[in-house]
A and B are shown apart, each in its own frame.
Chain A
Amino acid sequence: MSSDTPHAKPALELRDVSKQFGAFQALNGVCLRVEPGDSILLYGPNGAGKTTLLRVLSTLARPSEGKVLYDGADVHANPAAAKAAIGFVSHTTFLYGELTARENLEFAGKLFGLGNLPQRIVSVLDIFHLRQRAETPVRELSRGYQQRVSLARAFLHDPQFLLLDEPFTGLDAASTESLQVLMQGLRGQGKALIFSTHDYAQGKAIARRLVAMEGGKVRYDGPIDSAPLAALRKGVRSQEPGARSP
Chain B
Amino acid sequence: MRTLRVISAIFVKDLRVEWRHRETLASMCIFGLLVVFLFNFAFEPAREESLRLLPGLLWIAFAFAGVLGFNRSFAAERENAGLEGMCLAPVDPGAIYLGKMLANLFFMGIAEVVVVLAASLWYDFSFIPSLGWFALATFCCTLGYVAIGTTFGAVASNTRMREVMLPVLQFPVAVPIFIAGVESTTGALKGDPIGDYSYWIKLAAGFSIIFVVLSYLLFEYVLEE
Contacts and interface: CB of A to CB of B under 8 A. Distances in A.
A56 B92 CA distance: 19
Given A58-B88, A62-B224, A94 B5 contact: no
Contacts of A153: 85
Contact of A98 (B5, B21, B81): B21
Contacts of A110: 5-6, 9
B79 A97 contact: yes
Contacts of B21: 98
B213 to A, nearest CB: 21
Interface residues of B, number: 24
Interface stretch (B12-20, B145-153, B177-185, B195-203): B12-20
Contacts, number: 73
A88 B88 CA distance: 8
Contacts of A118: none
Interface string B1-36: 010011001000100110011000000000000000
Given A55-B225, A97-B80, A103-B16, A81 B5 contact: no
B91 interface: yes
Given A60-B88, A80-B90, A92 B17 contact: no
A113 B5 contact: yes
Contacts of A223: none
Given A55-B225, A99-B17, A137-B20, A94 B91 contact: no
Specify the main secondary structure of chain B where it touches its partner: helix
B76 interface: yes
Interface in B40-67: none
A96 B13 contact: yes
A222 interface: no
A60 B224 CA distance: 8
A112 interface: yes
Contacts of B6: 110-111, 113
Given A96-B13, A110-B6, A59 B88 contact: yes
A237 interface: no
B88 A61 contact: no
B90 A90 contact: no
A147 to B, nearest CB: 12
B5 A93 contact: no
A108 B5 contact: no
B23 to A, nearest CB: 10
Given A108-B85, A113-B5, A96 B17 contact: yes
B92 to A, nearest CB: 9
A58 B5 CA distance: 23
A59 B220 CA distance: 12
A53 interface: no
A18 to B, nearest CB: 14
A216 B91 CA distance: 30
A130 interface: no
A53 to B, nearest CB: 14
Interface of B: 2, 5-6, 9, 13, 16-17, 20-21, 76, 79-82, 84-91, 224-225
